[in-house]
Amino acid sequence: MASLAVLQNPGFEHSPFNPDCAAAYAAWRTRKLAAYPGRLEEVTVSIDDGFALSGAERAALLHAVSRANFAIYQLPPTVAADKAVLRALGRQLGLRRLDSNLCADEDGITSLQVVGPRGVGEYIPYTDKRLNWHTDGYYNSTAEQLHGVILQCVRPAPRGGENAILDHEIAYLLLRDENPDYVRALLAADAMTIPANIQNGVRLRGEQTGPVFSVDAAGHLHMRYSARARNIVWKDDATTRAAAEFLLNLFQQDSPYIFRHRLETGQGFVSNNVLHCRSAFDQAGDGAESRLLYRARYFDRIRDIDRDR
């Protein structure tokens, strides 16, 4: 127990995410399952003007996020290619502090598209290959974890490029229902290690050891995870390995909790960095016709609807 990453957090004692707090978990679990959407339409919001959300649009987005930790939005397709609208949307939802990662454009927003041999081609997001289940920035240091993500589609691929999404709170719930020791193992500060990123002999990022699940000061659950075996070295412990295996199996099955959707022009996801993956897709030529999505990643979480009133 002494190695749990959350022990310094005063709010953790009575948290539903504390594996030793059965009553708080039971109450939270009932609420979570009752609110969880059955269909994507329940968390899809049409937006007239992304620069100035109406009160109803903003409330609908925050309400959707309170249920599933993500929402789908639909903007007029004519503004799909405008990065400014994505940033404005983020600001109106409490997302301000952008993470400018290695591959981001100068404005801190990343253009996700297939690129040639430009140095980033070896990262799967910039290819047409299938992208396995993960949360964004799982390789970031503990101090720089990402809590909010926006993905906006400028042009879909002619075929494929579908996303699947699973609320990380549901992943926690299913793990804990299976065996509370699984979440205990994944809350441990040394649950996993992400190897250093070394490209052509240059060390771009050091090795990172940390928990899969953590709880922030406000009591929110955060998850860092990649299903890609080479991305993570799991702690050499039977329970940790069994928990990681359980997660992998979860993704192999059809589940009523997993949503699948291919973003069309003008559509996007806003999320509290939920689990997601992407199917392979076909490329249609280069440049002006190829699949293009914008991605913004934030150190902030989407504002809670409860604190918004």
Residues making contact with Fe ion (CB under 5 A): 136
Nearest Cα to Cα of residue 223 among 170, 295, 282, 293:
170
Closer to Fe ion at the Cβ: 31 or 260?
A: 260
Closer to Fe ion at the Cβ: 25 or 259?
A: 259
Closer to Fe ion at the Cβ: 12 or 269?
A: 269
Distance CA 84, CA 50 (A): 9
Closer to Fe ion at the Cβ: 182 or 225?
A: 225
In the chain, at which residue ranges do the beta strands (DSSP E only) sit?
44-46, 70-74, 110-112, 131-134, 148-155, 163-166, 192-194, 197-199, 202-205, 208-210, 213-215, 221-223, 233-234, 259-261, 267-271, 275-278, 292-298
User: CB of 133: closest distance to Fe ion in angstroms?
Assistant: 9
- Give the residue nearest to Fe ion (CB): 136
Nearest Cα to Cα of residue 116 among 124, 127, 103:
127
Closer to Fe ion at the Cβ: 133 or 213?
A: 133
User: CB of 109: closest distance to Fe ion in angstroms?
Assistant: 14
User: CB of 87: closest distance to Fe ion in angstroms?
Assistant: 18
User: CB of 276: closest distance to Fe ion in angstroms?
Assistant: 6
In 17-168, at which residue ranges do the beta strands (DSSP E only) sit?
44-46, 70-74, 110-112, 131-134, 148-155, 163-166
User: CB of 280: closest distance to Fe ion in angstroms?
Assistant: 15
